[in-house]
Amino acid sequence: MPPCRLSVNLELLNGICLPRVLGTPHNAAMSAISRLAALLAGSARTVVFTGAGISTESGIPDFRSPGGVWSRMKPIDFDTFMHNEDARREAWQRTFSGTAGWVGAKPNEGHFAVARLVDTGKVGHVITQNVDNLHQDAGVPAHQVIELHGNAGYATCLICGLRHELADLRDPFLEQGTLPACRACGGIVKSATISFGQPMPVEAMRRAEAASRECDLFIVLGSSLLVYPAAALPMVAKSNGGALAIVNRELTDMDSKADVAIHAEIGAVLREIVP
């Protein structure tokens, strides 16, 4: 029997979650949330996949959206960073000036709901496209967060991989103009994010694919699922028998393949289903 598919829209008005009726019964919104709650209750191994949408609710701009970071400044791709000292200087200037918008951001209701799901053992892995560390800040143990695009909260040596704390690099750069270099091998040090043109992290990808293959429920929170590997992992879950749920403000190309798709604020939806 094909899965029951429900797709509804919700809008947040004055903090109240209201159904937006688009040819769907008024109670369809809550039906979809109930459907997601039932999928979650019946799941033994849920994977949560998060994109920029969960962090925009913490005030972090979506990099790719109109008005986002990349519409205001050109991204520095990996090759340019590696081969051009001025570009490295510009990249570090951006890091330490907080231009990208995540400095000081705090986890929101959605992050805390995900952390509670991890704490109960329902969710074993959180796969994220975000680099803001907000899942860990909400209480998810770091080893259960699979970061596909790295983490902006520290830096690594591109030669030996040694971790460097931003606090140790900041003053020498801002006060003496010293470009960060590895204290162990002298190699180029870069923010631990994955830049445009930089290879995807092999180990994180392997873990993300394994978790997607083994889960019985894959919940997407705040991703338009357009960019690889975000576009592929939900299908890895589906083709191995997992159910697919999507919570995103806008429609996604995968809504038609989902067992339930809800277009709403993530915090408002999870408030209804995560105690």
Q: Which amino acid is at 229?
A: P
The phi and psi torsions of 212 (rounded to 5 degrees) equal -65, -40
Using a 10 angstrom Cβ sphere, with 0-12 exposed, 13-18 middle and 19 or more buried, the burial of residue 97 is: exposed
Q: State the Cα–Cα distance between residues 198 and 77, nearest whole angstrom.
A: 8
Q: What is the 3-state secondary structure (H, E, C) of 181-249?
A: ECCCCCCEEEEEECCCCCCCCHHHHHHHHHHHHHCCEEEEECCCCCCCCCCCHHHHHHHCCCEEEEECC
Catalytic residue among 135, 149, 164, 263: 149
**Is residue 149 annotated as part of the catalytic site, yes or no?**
yes
Q: Which of 185, 200, 210, 226 binds Zn ion (CB under 5 A)?
A: 185
CB of 120 to Zn ion, least distance (A): 40
Listed residue (81, 78, 41) closest to 274, CA to CA: 41
Binding-residue total with Zn ion (CB under 5 A)? 8
Piece of 103-111, 170-178, 181-189, 264-272 that binds Zn ion (CB under 5 A) = 181-189
Piece of 11-19, 98-106, 116-124, 186-194 that binds Zn ion (CB under 5 A) = 186-194
CB of 156 to Zn ion, least distance (A): 8
What distance lies between CA 103 and its chain's CA centroid? 16
Binding pattern for the stretch 115-154 against Zn ion, x by CB under 5 A and - elsewhere: ----------------------------------------
Tell me: does residue 160 bind Zn ion (CB under 5 A): yes
The phi and psi torsions of 19 (rounded to 5 degrees) equal -70, 135
What distance lies between CA 150 and its chain's CA centroid? 10
Q: Which of 187, 235, 251, 273 binds Zn ion (CB under 5 A)?
A: 187
Q: Which of 105, 159, 188, 231 binds Zn ion (CB under 5 A)?
A: 159
Tell me: does residue 168 bind Zn ion (CB under 5 A): no
Query: Does residue 180 have a cis bond before it (omega within 30 degrees)?
Result: no
CB of 184 to Zn ion, least distance (A): 5
Tell me: does residue 183 bind Zn ion (CB under 5 A): no
Residues that bind Zn ion (CB under 5 A): 157, 159-160, 162, 182, 184-185, 187
Instruction: Provide the annotated active-site residues.
Output: 149
